[in-house]
Chain A
């Protein structure tokens, strides 16, 4: 079994669970299995072409899987995979109305 850590913003789509244990041989298989168990997570993890969303980071232990073999990275018994939302932003291009925010 491997464990997948669910970040706070996505827990509501995973029955409020912090960690999900499942069987998987690769990162791709693990994420696919996770979204089979919790389908509400799917739009937050995959884009329209079924690729992992560009603002979703997947860490195996302390290492970004993009620095390994990406989603084809192999998993072994006891591994912990963490889903990490990319956190960024800034003042460039502030909205000026257009209903994107309200007072």
Chain B
């Protein structure tokens, strides 16, 4: 299994998460998955609904989750994962990230240092642990 993400999607995520700084930003990842190659071709950003410290937490509204599932079905896209930022913290999953992690999803974590993206890592829940998954970046063939 390998994971690919379009460069344009990473750029969109970067723009969104740098705009959200110093708060955490979040959203959904869509694309295709043929059990050998997972290809992320689209992102949809949503509001962080955490009622706590948004610099350290994010929460996605269940209605936004349902919308994301319906969007994937309508557009023949697979919901592949979640992205979120760690403002002024490394792109390393926290206990909080692990507590809410779902099987199958890719969890892209983006470290935003002083308002600028400084690193991106992706993780998947395997045997109760969030293990890093390597990904490659592909030049997009279409504009979003």
Hey, which bits of chain A sit against chain B, CB under 8 A? 5, 7-12, 18, 44, 55, 57, 59, 62, 64, 82, 84-96, 99-103
Contact = CB atoms under 8 A, between A and B. Distances in A.
A62 B56 contact: no
Contact of B93 (A8, A12, A84, A95): A95
B69 A7 contact: yes
Given A86-B62, A90-B56, A94-B89, A8 B69 contact: yes
A52 to B, nearest CB: 14
Nearest to B86: A91
Contacts of A85: 65, 100, 102
B66 A59 contact: yes
A89 B131 contact: no
A8 B79 contact: yes
Contacts of B102: 7, 9-10, 85, 87
A86 B77 CA distance: 21
How big is chain B's contact interface, by range?
35 or more
B94 A87 contact: no
Interface of B is mostly: mixed
A90 to B, nearest CB: 4
Contacts of B57: 88-90, 92
Interface of B: 24, 26, 50, 56-60, 62-63, 65-66, 69, 72-73, 78-79, 82, 84, 86-87, 89-90, 92-105, 107, 123, 129-132
The residue in A10, A59, A84 that gathers the most chain B C-beta atoms within 10 A of its C-beta is A84
A87 B84 CA distance: 11
Contacts of B79: 8
